[in-house]
Amino acid sequence: MTTKTNKILSAAVVIAIIVSVAVLVYVNLPKQTVSFSENNNAHKTTPTIFSLIYDDQQTNFTMADLVQLETYTAKGGYRTQSGMIKGIGNYTGVNISTLVHTLRPAPLLYSLKVYSEDGENLSINYSTILGNVDIYNPDNASDPNPIRKGGVTMVLAYQYEGKWLNESNDGKLKIVFLDEKGSITQASLWWKKVTSIRIITE
């Protein structure tokens, strides 16, 4: 009788242990899943903000990638067709020639096609890339005649007056023309919400 009772007790203990282990595993599973999910989120890659396209090669940049390139800070503004001067201030970004020279090998002579978020694009010739553009009188916006030509730098800007550009003010990236004097250039050359630039060598 005692042996039978011991067998029953032993079986009950084994069942209790199995149930306890099963409950313990079940309770811990959600914690392991959350931890794995958090790990995945921590290792997600930063999204691409800009692409440089050359022939069949496309180089994608995050904002961190752009900031790591040699920076250029200077002043500029633009004259609208209606005779108003806007956007005057200090901009920080990447000189277009610096950006192009991240390519290996970099093209010697080229033009650009700049694309924006809304699908619009702007073609820019090599002379314009070098900064050979019309400069307007900053003290007389109504004067449509340029006062001189050249001497500015074409820049892919990501900061204005020390603050990051964003969706509320012309997008995160913008084409601007700058120099130390804050020269005023044509508004149509300034291109907002830039997403990619294609290099054309034909």
Note the pLDDT of residue 23.
44
Q: Domain 50-200, CATH 3.30.70.141 — does that match?
A: no
Note the pLDDT of residue 3.
53
Could you read off the pLDDT tens digit of each residue along the chain, which spans 202 residues? 555 555 555 555 556 556 564 544 444 544 333 333 334 443 446 799 999 999 999 999 999 999 999 999 999 999 999 999 999 999 999 999 999 999 988 898 999 999 999 999 999 999 999 999 999 999 998 899 999 999 999 999 999 999 999 866 789 999 999 999 999 999 999 999 999 999 999 7
CB 88: neighbour CB atoms within 10 A? 12
Q: What is the pTM of this model?
A: 0.77
Residue spans of the domains in the chain: they are: 1-44, 50-200
Note the pLDDT of residue 106.
87
